[in-house]
Amino acid sequence: MGMGIAANQVGFDRRVIVVKPKGQQPFTLFNPELVSGDELVVDEEGCLSFPNLFIKINRFNNITVKYLDKLAKECTITLSGYDAKCVQHEIDHLDGITFTKRVSKLKLDLALKKQRKLDGRTK
């Protein structure tokens, strides 16, 4: 299940993401910018663009993001845990970075091998 999506993942060339933090309604962040982050943690991550591919990625556990809301009002939000990871992942998409670019070739190759097994392929 996806927790967020970036506009460029669906062919819309704008700096827009939609996220659904736990326990909240989905909302849109226009021109999101990571202002600060701390406490790097490693956690398994997946992506709707790469079905059945899961990779352990370093992300900040706590972040502050500046963005515009649907009324073009400048807002700031602080997120932690899974919600923070999701927003960082989606901002990466806007910057042209997929989570596959955040790991070594060896780790990616191992993850791709596991993905093929999950998909029922052997090669």
The CA distances from residue 117 to 53, 61, 70, 99, 121, in Å, are 10, 30, 42, 20, 5
- Contact 19/83 with Cβ under 8 angstroms? yes
Which residue's structure tokens are 């807002």?
75
Residue 56 identity: K
Catalytic residues: 90
Query: Residue 122 contacts by C-beta under 8 Å, 6 or more apart in sequence?
Result: 116
- Do 3 and 19 contact (CB within 8 A), yes or no? yes
Phi-psi region of 92 (alpha: psi -120 to 50; beta: other; left: phi over 0): alpha
